[in-house]
């Protein structure tokens, strides 16, 4: 047992016990809930718990992966709110650390850590989702920057967020589809941006379409070199599919909630094995990620974790809804909202079919097949 990790865990547990709201916040997929979750991000930041693995100069604590995993376990075990800043903290920030400039990090990361700027992900397009190289939205060179034109779809958090990041085609004459792409950041309230919320099955605007008509982006908001967007995007996808999006602590807490629900429902023997599978699955995911990460970022192994957690999440929520009864799927509860969100898991962050191709080719060394 690492004494440093356990001391850190105890410190986090004590802070969370004193600060986690006694009542659940409204859904972050609503305007009211979004504002409440933004305030929670500010409170987390005040305690220096919003970005524990970041360097201290940006508001973090500079801890390593074992400490971050311990914090995540305590965070979700405490019943703390979902993270409305997740797109920024877990996806954009690692990209800025790896490919951004020091000026960008100093300018953007503190407001992200404090919840003052909430980011949306703007990658997918009507005909470019998992096949990101086929995207058609353009970035056209102009004095001092770029003009964005096109449409982005299924942009998570965009209905209420402040800014977005995405990849755009800056060189239509490039010899291959994945070349000539540039990674840019832009404001969602800038002239030329139209945000159209897209309601989920439960009616909440979890996503939005973005229509871009000559949106100006200064050169300072280009990540990496123009034309290098594909390489940077592929670097970012590892974070999206791996630990940062769905930490083991999140599933350990959900499995614990499921066990309590099963007991409250009378210990129905018909679903006992599925409840046990949920607990075993969470523990197996915890062990695998700790071994695979090994103190650093995962590579192609992130495809393994993505397939696992996306299918595990659905099974866990289906078991909970069965325990709650037929009407639970339509009720406004954490389990119902979690189930609705889990259904999208095999699709977003790269479909599971694509992930299985990556596993076959890069981890198992099998020949390329259906693509």
Pairwise CA distance, residues 173 & 284, whole Å:
47
The label of the residue with tokens 């409840």 reads: 275
Cα torsion angle, 95, 101, 102, 103, sign: negative
The label of the residue with tokens 């940062």 reads: 244
Would you state the pLDDT for residue 73? 93
Buried b / exposed e along 198-229 (16+ C-beta atoms within 10 A): eebebebbbbbbbebeebbbeeebbbbebebb
Would you state the pLDDT for residue 92? 94
| Whole-structure pTM value | 0.85
Contact 252, 282 (CB under 8 A): yes
Would you state the pLDDT for residue 132? 73
Would you state the pLDDT for residue 298? 63
Would you state the pLDDT for residue 367? 85
Pairwise CA distance, residues 4 & 304, whole Å:
30
DSSP 8-state secondary structure symbol assigned to residue 177: T
The Cβ of residue 79 has, within 10 Å, a number of other Cβ atoms equal to: 14
Beta partners for residue 187, in sequence order: 163
Beta strand ranges found along 219-337 (DSSP E): 222-223
For the question of residue 46 being annotated catalytic, the response is no
- Look at residue 64 and give its three-state secondary structure: coil
Pairwise CA distance, residues 289 & 298, whole Å:
9
Q: Write out 193-233 in H/E/C secondary structure.
A: EEEEEECCCCCCCCEEEEEEEEEEEEHHHEECCCCEHHHHH
Would you state the pLDDT for residue 14? 98
The pLDDT tens digits along the chain (371 residues) read 688 999 999 999 999 999 999 999 998 889 999 999 999 999 999 999 999 999 999 999 999 888 998 999 999 999 999 999 999 998 899 999 999 999 999 999 999 999 999 999 998 888 766 667 778 999 999 999 999 999 999 898 899 999 999 999 998 888 777 789 999 999 999 999 999 998 877 778 878 999 999 999 999 999 999 999 988 988 776 665 655 667 889 899 999 999 999 999 899 898 999 999 999 999 998 888 777 666 555 667 778 888 998 999 999 999 999 999 877 777 777 888 888 888 888 887 778 888 898 889 888 888 886 55
Q: Which of 73, 74, 209, 240 is catalytic?
A: 240
Structure tokens at 353: 């079919």
For β-strands 119-121 and 163-169, DSSP reports them as: parallel
Pairwise CA distance, residues 210 & 141, whole Å:
20
């Amino acid at each position: 047992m690492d004494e440093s990790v356990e001391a850190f865990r105890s410190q986090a547990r004590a802070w969370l016990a004193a600060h986690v709201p006694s009542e659940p916040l409204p859904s972050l997929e609503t305007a009211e809930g979004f504002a409440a979750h933004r305030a929670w991000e500010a409170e987390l930041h005040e305690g220096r718990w919003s970005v524990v693995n970041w360097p201290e100069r940006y508001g973090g604590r500079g801890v390593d992966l074992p400490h971050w995993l311990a914090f995540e376990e305590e965070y979700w075990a405490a019943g703390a709110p979902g993270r409305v800043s997740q797109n920024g903290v877990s996806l954009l920030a690692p990209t800025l650390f790896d490919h951004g400039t020091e000026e960008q990090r100093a300018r953007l990361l503190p407001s992200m850590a404090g919840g003052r700027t909430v980011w949306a992900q703007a990658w997918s397009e009507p005909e470019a989702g998992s096949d990101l190289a086929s995207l058609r939205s353009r970035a056209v060179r102009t004095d001092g920057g770029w003009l964005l034109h096109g449409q982005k779809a299924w942009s998570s958090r965009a209905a209420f967020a402040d800014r977005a990041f995405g990849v755009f085609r800056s060189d239509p004459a490039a010899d291959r589809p994945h070349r000539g792409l540039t990674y840019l950041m832009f404001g969602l309230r800038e002239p030329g941006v139209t945000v159209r919320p897209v309601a989920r099955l439960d009616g909440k605007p979890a996503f939005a379409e973005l229509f871009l008509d000559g949106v100006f982006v200064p050169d300072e908001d280009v990540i990496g070199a123009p034309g290098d967007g594909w390489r940077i995007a592929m670097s970012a996808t590892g974070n999206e599919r791996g630990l940062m999006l769905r930490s083991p602590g999140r599933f350990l807490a959900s499995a614990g909630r499921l066990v309590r629900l099963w007991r409250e429902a009378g210990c129905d023997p018909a679903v006992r094995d599925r409840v046990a599978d949920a607990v075993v699955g969470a523990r197996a995911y915890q062990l695998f990620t700790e071994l695979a990460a090994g103190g650093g970022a995962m590579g192609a192994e992130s495809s393994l974790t993505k397939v696992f957690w996306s299918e595990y999440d659905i099974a866990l929520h289906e078991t909970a809804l069965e325990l709650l009864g037929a009407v639970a799927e339509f009720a406004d509860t954490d389990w119902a909202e979690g189930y609705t969100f889990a259904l999208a898991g095999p699709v977003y962050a790269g479909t599971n079919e694509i992930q299985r191709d990556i596993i076959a080719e890069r981890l198992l060394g099998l020949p390329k097949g259906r693509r």
